Amino acid sequence: MKNRVAFVTGAGQGIGEAIALRLAKDGLAVAVADFNQETARQVAEKINQQGGKAIALKVDVSQRDQVMDAVEEARRALGGFDVIVNNAGIAPSTPIAEITEAVVDKVYNVNVKGVIWGMQAAIKAFAAEGHGGKIINACSQAGHVGNPELAVYSSSKFAVRGLTQTAARDLAPAGITVNAFCPGIVRTPMWEEIDRQISEAAGKPAGYGTEEFAKRITLGRLSEPEDVAACVAYLASPDSDYMTGQSLLIDGGMVFN
């Protein structure tokens, strides 16, 4: 039987890497897409060495043409198109009084426009294959509650939640479901940098930011990228066929709403 095909952005490290590895383990052929060509290549190589099927693609998700071209290349190279995971994101610290136009543009170009371009590319690819599919967007607990020092990032994730709900309604007639995953603190290079910035701003040693956030986690531990990948694996599987428009909180209870 033909493999289902997934395209994962920001898959060169962190959560995206874990998602790519997990979907490959679940039998999907995976396009490992990242701004960083070298890390994307390494992840694709790991999947192929483990007996899966993967290709690496260099793409800047903020550039619409690059996203459209990369998705089309993946569809042709892997022989189909079933799932897109719009995972790439950036999270610079942005205290309100220090927000610049440049940082707003940078964050929104990746976190918001990147999701819109990914959804558009997926719609085209699903149509070319003559069936619906699954769109999965990276949101965050920060898309449910405003996070201190992260106004631009947090608002971009609120936007992702809105886009996910709206796209779910628009695309249901085409057989496309649209959902998002909303982690809390995940042990990745992104979180390490946020911790460093929070700790530095408070005049405390590295690790302080993590301790402060971790106090609010019901399950009493930070999440690992694999915890998030397990949720995404469900959203990518037929088990979630009746779910759409949802932004699933998987943060172990930092936010309940």
Ligand X SMILES: NC(=O)C1=CN([C@@H]2O[C@H](COP(=O)(O)OP(=O)(O)OC[C@H]3O[C@@H](n4cnc5c(N)ncnc54)[C@H](O)[C@@H]3O)[C@@H](O)[C@H]2O)C=CC1
Residues with a catalytic annotation lie at 153
Q: Which of 247, 114, 113 is nearest to 181 (CA)?
A: 247
Interface positions, 87-116, toward ligand X (CB under 6 A):
87-91, 110
Q: Which of 45, 91, 90, 88 is nearest to 70 (CA)?
A: 88
State yes or no: residue 83 binds ligand CC(=O)C(C)=O (CB under 6 A).
no
State yes or no: residue 244 binds ligand CC(=O)C(C)=O (CB under 6 A).
no
CA–CA separation, 204 and 118 (whole Å): 39
Each as own residue / partner, the long-range contacts of residues 166-172 (CB below 8 Å, 24 or more positions apart, any chain) are 167/119, 167/135, 168/244, 168/245, 169/245, 171/123, 171/135, 172/244
- Contact by Cβ (8 Å): 27, 50: no
State yes or no: residue 56 binds ligand X (CB under 6 A).
no
Report the partner that residue 62 touches, choosing among ligand X, ligand CC(=O)C(C)=O, none (CB closer than 5 to 8 A by kind): ligand X
Taking the complex as a whole, the smallest distance from the CB of residue 137 to ligand X amounts, in Å, to 9
Taking the complex as a whole, the smallest distance from the CB of residue 107 to ligand CC(=O)C(C)=O amounts, in Å, to 12
State yes or no: residue 15 binds ligand CC(=O)C(C)=O (CB under 6 A).
no
State yes or no: residue 231 binds ligand X (CB under 6 A).
no
Which of 159, 163, 190, 249 is close enough to bind ligand X by CB under 6 A? 190
**Residue 185 is assigned to a ligand binding site:** yes
**Residue 187 is assigned to a ligand binding site:** yes
Taking the complex as a whole, the smallest distance from the CB of residue 206 to ligand CC(=O)C(C)=O amounts, in Å, to 15
Interface positions, 124-183, toward ligand X (CB under 6 A):
138, 140, 183
Binding-site ranges for ligand CC(=O)C(C)=O (CB under 6 A): 91, 140-142, 184-185, 190, 194
Binding-site ranges for ligand X (CB under 6 A): 9-10, 12-16, 34-36, 39, 59-62, 87-91, 110, 138, 140, 183, 185-186, 188-191
